[in-house]
Structure 1
């Protein structure tokens, strides 16, 4: 077991990292309405022409930045793209990427769905009623308590395995109900 340390979120997570995707490119799109509340997997995508929006790749976490989607738990882990593919989605996503050698992609996802992280995001929202958005700068300055990279990988893998078992159980239940 490793020592945990306190680190600023911006030193642990790349927020909205830059990716190059040419306008007009046909690639995978994730619409906000396709994310299911409190569900890791992205259940449905479409191929569409890129004309703007948040860009992401496998291993990234996408989190809704707008009300009520954030409060409803719309945060997902990107793992359905082809190798090397860049996908895109709503401009209302914050994309979070693990920093090489510092953070683990799975652990970043589980950090993003942690109630403490989510509550800070929700409380930071500003704007007119019904159109409030997260202040990303507040998230970037958030102090996180994190283990070393090896421990992050173990924790992330363990939680991912639990999520897979829950998803399988839900699928079995859906089949039984049909």
Structure 2
């Protein structure tokens, strides 16, 4: 098997002439970083007009392989083979490298090459920049030396991996879907109460009260030697050391500062809350003064309030009361302003019932995510072994190559 540098097989970050041929009003597919996931989790539903992305964005076309360049997304192996773009052309975050395959390499095989353990490990070692903002240079991609089978073998390997990785992804997807159904039951009960309240039904609806009558804002001094607690956009509030370093807006250093948080606090990000960064803290630590840290009045349930506020934020309700916005945030750092927002009043016993359901789901969700991590490791090991020729895919058994992955 011959060794070839990648620059002889692909164009790295090439021009996309098809983009230039579009008119300013033409619609195209847009990929923010949060939409870039391997396999079936890739989200190509975002749309933009060409004029709005003509400057300052990465351009690509059907058949390109997109490789995230910034930590920790690069290390997570979230490269994608893009297809199905509107008009065959797209634009996205500048944190993407674009690889355009030439005639000597199969696009699917290329995707699997940039998903191997070795590619990700050595790419991480080549990163440059400050902590938390490190990037893989395109030089690493251009100079990468790969083992290149002939095209027939490349396609055979890609066919095999398409089938086997899909099995792994489907197992994880089914588990996540089960958790999502349980979460939807909780959300449905909360939203049905919102629908019956004066927020929706008007004067004939159930009563409402301003946030400050339902939640008390607390400000505790920071505690040395405790880690940073972060509100993530998926609604989880926990120590940053226990989570990936993405899915939040950077607003806290690793030094003790701002205020401290304890488990059970309702935490609202004053700028990123509109995007879902609201929830109930699972850990002790320190957080930025940008956050509102609250406790329920009168025996209210903190998990209920964390979920209620997040649902209202994602539906755009909270944003209706903002007096200041910026490109990617609604500004609610002013507690006096936020505290005036009316919320539906649910009886405490019903709050506690919803909160108990949320708490029962949490350990199941953590178990599913741990199994997803193991599945991702298994997937990467399988890809690495197949691409590097550690076994012959033409004789491999689908049963034994996925051994250890269970539903």
- TM-score bucket (shorter structure): 0.7 to 0.9
User: Structure 2: how far apart are the matches of 1:17 and 1:157?
Assistant: 27
Equivalent of 1:132, from 102, 117, 134? 134
Quote the residue 1:27 is aligned against.
28
Check whether the contact 1:31–1:45 (CA below 8 A) recurs between aligned residues: no
**In structure 1, C-alpha distance between the alignment counterparts of 2:155 and 2:105, rounded to whole Å:** 9
Counterpart position of 1:17? 14
Please identify which structure carries the higher helix content: 2
SS at match of 1:170: helix
C-alpha distance in 2 between matches for 1:133 and 1:170: 29
Judging changes above 3 Å, is the alpha-carbon distance between structure 1 residues 168 and 148 closer, same or farther for their aligned structure 2 residues? Answer: same
Aligned residues of 1:61 and 1:96 also touching (Cα < 8 A): yes
Between the two structures, name the one with larger relative contact order (CA 8 Å, sep ≥ 6).
1
Q: Which residue of 1 aligns with 2:360?
A: none
Counterpart secondary structure, 2:39: coil
Query: Unpaired segments of 5 or more residues in structure 1?
Result: none
Shift of 1:176: 4.2
Matched, 1:98 2:101: yes
1:46 aligned residue: 46
Change beyond 3 A, Cα 1:147–1:129: same
Match of 2:67 among 43, 63, 66: 63
1:31-51 CA distances to partner (integer Å, 9 max, x unpaired)?
Answer: 101223xx2341343111232
Residue number among 79, 85, 97 corresponding to 2:83 in the alignment:
79
CA RMSD of aligned residues (A): 2.0
Q: Which runs of 5+ in 2 are unaligned?
A: 182-407
Please give the secondary structure, in 2, of the residue aligned with 1:138: helix
C-alpha separation in 2, matches of 1:105 and 1:64: 17
Aligned residue pairs, count: 171
Work out which of the two has the higher radius of gyration on C-alpha atoms and give 1 or 2.
2
1:11-55 deviation digits (Å, cap 9, x = unpaired): 12221122121473420001101223xx23413431112323222
TM-score normalised according to structure 1 size: 0.85
Which of 150, 163, 170 lines up with 1:161 in the alignment? Answer: 163
